[in-house]
Amino acid sequence: MINRFTLPATFAALLLGAFVSAPLAADGHTDASPEASSDPGTEVSEERLRSDMDTIVGFGTRHTLSTQTDPNRGVGAAVNWALDEFGRMSADCGDCLEVMPVSRVVEPDGRRIPEPTLVRNAVAIQRGTERPNEVIIVQAHYDSRVTDPLNGTDDAPGANDDGSGSVMVLEAARILSQREYPSTIIYALLTGEEQGLYGAGILADWVGEQGMTVKAVLNNDMIGNSCGSDGYCEPDVVRVFSEGLRADSTDRLRALQRRFGGENDSPGRNLSRWLANLAAEYPDGMQVRQIWRTDRMGRGGDQIPFLDRGYPAVRVTVAVEDYDHQHQDLRVEDGVTYGDTVDELDWTYLTRASVLNVRALNHLAMAPMPPSVAADGAVRTDTELRWSYPAGATHFRYYNRRTDEAHWGSGVKLTPLDDVAEKDGTVTIAIRSRADDWIFGVEACNGAYCSPVSSAVPGGAFEPVEQPEPAAE
């Protein structure tokens, strides 16, 4: 069936027609933003963030190698409290949260795990009402350290690294558990990060074992300071790190990307673009500086185990790191005070970063999965786009950008005119544009809530790359 579009002039020359299982209408209008009264970001409380911080710092140390049996000190007591706090939130929302420790014993690794060690994550799951296996994960690492990564006895407050991300996760769960969403949100406080990203790997494996489809992972690691040790400050920006080439790539995918592109269009990269666009919708709020590398130079974070398994993930972190107040013994040396203590936090910055996260989770949990998109434009004067029809989508937005452009511009809204149930699961359109010069993408929307754009390139889909079968021995 060939369907006609009503398009703004700038796009009328691009779209030839649509070949769809149900008719689509097109327009160039921006979707209405959610009403301010529906914005859960306005509910973030600095007072509650401070209270949670006082509690978790009060455990003395949360080092992964610290005591797990003392009821008042160490990582064991800290994880127990977090599980209990998630339980209290669940009681307040009619038992809407499944609370559990996702854990595993990690064997000695010759580096930072000297003996078999139980690594326990505190996890709360808010099941989606429509698509419970479609998940968004918001996480922070709960463990702390001082200068020696094997010192599990000395006080290690870990206020910024990563108490700041941890109290944000607790606050997000407290607020969003009072609402219902089509998709599932997982709130996770991870341990074992400072010893080798172990808690994240355990959770990523568990998610895969449950057969969950991961829409996005927001890893928040240090979101509580605005100034560096050199006095340079940036109070209005967080950095969002995203990978370019996929960590789960294969020889086949790399060969396809050499022929068809996709070096700058991984799911994580498009998640970063999406988060920056969302922040820009609130000009008085925290803004995003995209950093197009997986993590800071020579360093890592808990988004990496998820990327390794093919899940779209980004790191959200401060614009300026303060090296005097992370990974430091508590001391005064040559007149300089060292240590990751509460008094070094910028509470306004932490609160605004928390607001951004809560808004992002709200949007992602309302939006459908990004579609899987393919483009066919080889040796032809037009380009055919074909994409999947995700559950919950009310309409789509089509985008294109030049291959040397960094960001998506304004999209074209494509709205189905027939009942969703009548669709066979795919949409195809033809575009009067030569594919060599463009990158194409599509986002799926549920009313005003739209997914990240999924790029029509090899490896652009928000799903793990199919891995080759192991060679027979």
Residue 251 confidence (pLDDT)? 96
Residue 469 confidence (pLDDT)? 81
SS (H, E, C) 186-220: EEEEECCCCCCCHHHHHHHHHHHHCCCEEEEEEEE
Instruction: Provide the 3-class DSSP secondary structure of residue 392.
Output: coil
pLDDT digits (tens), the chain, 473 positions: 223 233 333 343 444 444 444 445 555 444 554 444 589 999 999 999 999 999 999 999 999 999 999 999 999 999 999 999 999 999 999 999 999 999 999 999 999 999 999 999 999 999 999 999 999 999 999 999 999 999 999 999 999 999 999 999 999 999 999 999 999 999 999 999 999 999 999 999 999 999 999 999 999 999 999 999 999 999 999 999 999 999 999 999 999 999 999 999 999 999 999 999 999 999 999 999 999 999 999 999 999 999 999 999 999 999 999 999 999 999 999 999 999 999 999 999 999 999 999 999 999 999 999 999 999 999 999 999 999 999 999 999 999 999 999 999 988 998 764 443 334 678 889 999 999 999 999 999 999 999 999 999 999 999 999 998 887 66
Output phi, psi for 8, to 5 deg. -65, 155
Residue 6 confidence (pLDDT)? 30
Q: Could you tell me the sign of the dihedral formed by the alpha carbons of 278, 283, 286, 289, in that order? A: positive
- pTM to 2 decimal places: 0.93
Instruction: Tell me if 338 sits within 8 A of 329, measured CB to CB.
Output: yes
302 vs 162: CA distance, rounded Å: 11
In the numeric block, the tokens 């430091």 are attached to: 328
Instruction: Tell me if 346 sits within 8 A of 325, measured CB to CB.
Output: no
236 vs 258: CA distance, rounded Å: 38
Residue 24 confidence (pLDDT)? 55
Residue 30 confidence (pLDDT)? 47
DSSP secondary structure letter of residue 160? I
